Structure 1
Amino acid sequence: MTENERNAVFDECFEHNDHLRGNGHLVAEVPLQSPATALTLYWKNGKVVTTDGPYAETKEQLGGLQILEARDLNHAIQLVSQLPGFKYGLGPIEIRPVADLNEMMRESEQRRRKKTAR
């Protein structure tokens, strides 16, 4: 893309994000730097070991993430399919529900309280 074409795509994407945010659907967005900046941590033989670069060798790259508020999976598909970058081939895009760890965290807190009360 030329610089003008790239800027037009960015402008369209950011305008769409403003629309999602204004309608209460965009909860958070986090762009990532290129995979070349990645550092992967491992636990090996009781120590932390690091390796430069992304964990998986792949042609696809995770460019960032957005947390969207949707009623259900169909609504999430509708919201994501309207992302301007998607129609320009900036995909694939993975949709995944957020895990609810509240109950697990409450149970852990109760266990830890019992340990410190002894």
Structure 2
Amino acid sequence: MPTYIALTYTRDVDWTQPEHAEETKDYNEFGKAAADVIKGGHALYPTATATTVRVSGGKGGDVITSDGPYAETKEALTGFYVLECADLDEAVAVAAKIPAAWDGAVEVRPVIQF
């Protein structure tokens, strides 16, 4: 079966904080309902914890790091699911049930198997 990544884009918040417990409950319920197709995934800490890495001059060049995300956006990449679905239609149907789709966005991409 093909594998898809469902990238979740939501408000940039710390999902470990108690004020997000109700929303976290929705994600847990989704996880249980879609357990047959979910093969992995995690929530991410807020973008303030990110480190962006670049290599100047290409391969072998100087490593340059900066704090924070690559770009400023209203919605941030806040997590992902690895889905094993029969086809894109099934992956989209599953992604529509991820709570991030209700007030943010879920990007679904097929995975290249090397």
Shorter-chain TM-score range: 0.7 to 0.9
TM-score normalized by the length of structure 1: 0.71
The answer on whether the counterparts of 2:31 and 2:38 sit within 8 Å (CA) in structure 1 is yes
Find the residue that maps to 1:62 and give its secondary structure: strand
- Give the total of aligned pairs: 95
Q: Which residue pairs with 2:106 in the alignment?
A: 93
Structure having the larger proportion of residues in helix: 1
Gaps of 5+ in 1: 102-118
TM-score (normalizing by structure 2): 0.73
Aligned to 1:51: 66
Which structure: larger Rg? 1
Is 1:8 aligned to 2:22, yes or no?
A: yes
SS of structure 1 residue aligned to 2:54: strand
Structure with the higher fraction of residues in strand conformation: 2
Could you tell me which of 14, 18, 35 is aligned with 2:32? 18
Tell me the percent identity: 34
Contact 2:56/2:64 (<8 A) preserved: yes
Residue 9 of structure 2 aligns with which residue? Answer: none
Instruction: Name which structure has the greater RCO, CA cutoff 8 Å, separation 6+.
Output: 2
Distance 2:20 2:78 in 1: 16
- Aligned-residue Cα RMSD (Å) equals 2.0
1:5 and 1:38 map into 2 onto residues whose CA distance is 22
